[in-house]
């Protein structure tokens, strides 16, 4: 199924679990907010670096690691 979203919150599957996320950043910071409704888990990550594709991938990996460990 293609990713869906609404109100700036994309919805996507990851390892058979759906998550909602919103990422952002600016000069000197990057953030990632994730909600995994099937697990009842939500998290926010803040990084003191300007947003780049590499930091967005790192935030995704950190969120997935936390989700797997809390399952």
The pLDDT assigned to 13 comes to: 80
pLDDT at residue 2 greater than cutoff 60: no
pLDDT at residue 5 greater than cutoff 60: no
Report CA torsion sign: 63, 22, 33, 20: negative
- Domains of the chain, residue spans: 11-48
Q: Pick from 52, 65, 66: which is nearest to 23 by CA?
A: 52
Global pTM reads: 0.74
Mean pLDDT on 34-54: 90
Mean pLDDT on 29-38: 90
């Amino acid at each position: 199924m293609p990713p869906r979203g609404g109100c700036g919150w994309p919805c996507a599957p990851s390892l058979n679990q759906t998550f909602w996320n919103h990422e952002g950043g600016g000069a000197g910071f990057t953030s990632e907010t994730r909600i995994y409704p099937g697990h009842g888990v939500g998290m926010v990550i803040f990084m003191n670096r300007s947003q780049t594709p590499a930091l967005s991938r790192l935030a995704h990996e950190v969120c997935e690691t936390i989700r797997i460990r809390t399952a």
